[in-house]
């Protein structure tokens, strides 16, 4: 348990958040499948990404950590063995709490000559895997939910000949898209994944940098696709991981809510498929300035945020729906808190995916925001928040979900009285130093 008191000082100065989780996972996976050495700086050493490292080590990949002599910067070196270099793991691959590890790695395992099994913690064992089993089966893979409930443990049969498919994904999910594309590296024809809206495209951008023949397309109606032509050899490379905008979101929110704050968050990834939170907050009048924009591969910038009383963009209403949802899916708990203290009505639609994240984030956000005095109503695919409430401290139940713990810790900074977070240790999933950074800055 940890207690949070209202912030007594404005948040000022500058802070650097840890590396992007999605890019960190992929840098290990693609580095393992590439020929030669991949050197990663800015890697996120959190529980989720360490699960990815453990799994690839269990398949014979050497992954080492060292420090760069001239500046002491940690470097992760992956000694890749090429697309066909993985070896059979001795036991079930354990992915902990990580949906990204589970789903992306299953795509890779589907193309291997050996049998494998994969499972994770109690939360992972309830998360839907039929969404990857269906397309992988269409590709000729044999992936079975061992308990027959569409969840892990999964058993993956080796030695299957995979075919490229054109898959119309019913959900905009980067984990589903990436799983199929990674299996596509082992297929005999092109693999095309269509999605209802473009989900984060780190797999496409990074695989291309590693040497794969892959691209994104968007048609005149806005439908998105990713197209992979197999056959290329991946080559090891240097990856410099930017700060995670999903982690930056907590400090953006804290600076917006605590009076007189003026905070710079350095080196944050601002890939447009991830940066929806900035657009929504700017629509609500937030003072957020992008400085030192670096437009190389996965773009990044420093974010300068000033305390702002948030209002509704359009007659006091902010609607977050449709194509915006995948660009800010992980930030919705934090946005809900901001909606509650803003002067507007915030309507979130098309976000049913929230129910199958690390917790049921529609139910858990509603439970905790209400406990703090927020006015929120759940809907089938989101929630409606009537802002203008002064929040008060409460007992927060995280349900083991790191993003709930961090969102409501930040809410506690702007609330009256003490907020208790029942289980603060779950932040180790994506941001182990979160509470230390929060204490330092507030």
Q: Which residues are catalytic?
A: 330
User: Does the footprint of ligand S3P cover residue 406 (CB under 6 A)?
Assistant: no
| Least distance (Å) between residue 413 CB and ligand S3P | 24
| Least distance (Å) between residue 330 CB and ligand S3P | 5
Place of tokens 């109503």: 377
Residue pair 178/198 in contact by the 8 Å Cβ criterion? no
SS3 labels along 194-237:
EECCCCCCHHHHHHHHCCCEEEEEECCCCCEEEEEECCCCCECC
- Please list every residue from 108 through 137 that binds ligand S3P, using CB under 6 A: none
Q: What is the dihedral of CA 298, 302, 304, 305, to 10 degrees?
A: 50
Apex 319 CA angle, 318 and 324, nearest 5: 120
Residue pair 306/281 in contact by the 8 Å Cβ criterion? no
User: Does the footprint of ligand S3P cover residue 46 (CB under 6 A)?
Assistant: no
202 versus 397: smaller Cβ distance to ligand S3P: 202
- Please list every residue from 161 through 220 that binds ligand S3P, using CB under 6 A: 173-175, 178, 199-200
Cα 374 from Cα 366, distance rounded (Å): 9
Q: Which of 195, 330, 345, 424 binds ligand S3P (CB under 6 A)?
A: 330
175 versus 261: smaller Cβ distance to ligand S3P: 175
| Least distance (Å) between residue 207 CB and ligand S3P | 13
User: Does the footprint of ligand S3P cover residue 353 (CB under 6 A)?
Assistant: yes
**Beta strands 35-41 and 74-81: pairing type?**
antiparallel
Residue pair 331/348 in contact by the 8 Å Cβ criterion? no
Cα 132 from Cα 148, distance rounded (Å): 14
| Least distance (Å) between residue 435 CB and ligand S3P | 20
128 versus 412: smaller Cβ distance to ligand S3P: 128
- To the nearest 10 degrees (0 to 180), the angle between helices 174-184 and 21-33 is 10
Tokens of 358: 């690390």
| Least distance (Å) between residue 351 CB and ligand S3P | 10
User: Does the footprint of ligand S3P cover residue 329 (CB under 6 A)?
Assistant: yes
- Count of residues near ligand S3P by CB under 6 A: 11
Q: Which of 100, 152, 201, 273 binds ligand S3P (CB under 6 A)?
A: 100
Cα 182 from Cα 156, distance rounded (Å): 15
Residue pair 226/201 in contact by the 8 Å Cβ criterion? yes
307 versus 399: smaller Cβ distance to ligand S3P: 399
| Least distance (Å) between residue 52 CB and ligand S3P | 11
Cα 94 from Cα 16, distance rounded (Å): 30
Cα 144 from Cα 397, distance rounded (Å): 34
Cα 206 from Cα 148, distance rounded (Å): 34
Cα 416 from Cα 231, distance rounded (Å): 59
- Please list every residue from 17 through 36 that binds ligand S3P, using CB under 6 A: 22
Residues that bind ligand S3P (CB under 6 A): 22, 100, 173-175, 178, 199-200, 329-330, 353
């Amino acid at each position: 348990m940890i207690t949070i008191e209202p912030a007594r000082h404005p948040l000022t100065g500058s802070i650097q958040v840890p590396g992007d989780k999605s890019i960190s996972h992929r840098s290990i996976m693609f580095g393992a499948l590439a020929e030669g050495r991949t050197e990663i700086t800015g890697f996120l050493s959190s529980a989720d990404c360490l699960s990815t490292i453990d799994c690839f080590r269990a398949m014979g990949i050497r992954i080492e950590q060292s420090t760069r002599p001239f500046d002491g910067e940690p470097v992760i070196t992956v000694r890749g063995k090429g697309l066909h270099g993985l070896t059979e793991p001795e036991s079930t691959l354990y992915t902990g709490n990580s949906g990204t590890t589970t789903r992306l790695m299953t795509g890779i395992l589907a193309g291997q000559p050996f049998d494998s099994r994969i499972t994770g913690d109690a939360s992972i064992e309830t998360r839907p895997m039929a969404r990857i089993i269906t397309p992988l089966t269409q590709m000729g893979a044999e992936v079975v939910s061992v308990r027959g409930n569409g969840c892990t443990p999964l058993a993956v049969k080796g030695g299957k000949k995979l075919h490229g498919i054109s898959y119309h994904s019913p959900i905009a999910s980067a984990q589903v898209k990436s799983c199929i594309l990674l299996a596509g590296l082992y297929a005999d024809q092109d693999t095309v994944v269509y999605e209802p809206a473009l989900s984060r495209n780190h797999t496409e951008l990074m695989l291309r940098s590693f040497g794969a023949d892959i691209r994104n397309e968007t048609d005149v109606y806005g439908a998105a696709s990713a197209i992979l032509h197999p056959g290329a050899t991946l080559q090891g490379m240097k990856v410099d991981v930017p700060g995670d905008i999903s982690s930056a979101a907590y400090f953006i929110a804290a600076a917006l809510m605590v009076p007189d704050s003026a905070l710079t968050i350095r080196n944050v990834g601002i890939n447009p498929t991830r940066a929806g939170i900035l657009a929504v907050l700017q629509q609500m009048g937030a003072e957020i300035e992008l400085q030192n924009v670096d437009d190389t591969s996965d773009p990044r910038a420093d974010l300068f945020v000033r305390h702002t009383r948030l209002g509704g963009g359009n007659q006091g209403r902010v609607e977050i729906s449709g194509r915006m949802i995948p660009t800010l899916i992980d930030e919705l708990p934090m946005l809900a808190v901001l909606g509650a203290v803003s002067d507007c009505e915030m309507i979130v639609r098309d976000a049913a995916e929230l129910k199958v994240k690390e917790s049921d984030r529609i139910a858990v956000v509603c439970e905790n925001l209400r406990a703090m005095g927020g006015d929120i109503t759940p809907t089938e695919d989101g929630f409606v928040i009537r802002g203008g409430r002064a929040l008060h401290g409460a007992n927060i139940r995280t349900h083991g979900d790191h993003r709930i713990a961090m969102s409501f810790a930040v809410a506690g900074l702007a609330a009256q009285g003490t907020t208790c977070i029942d289980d603060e240790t779950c932040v180790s999933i994506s941001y182990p130093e979160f509470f230390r950074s929060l204490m330092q800055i507030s």
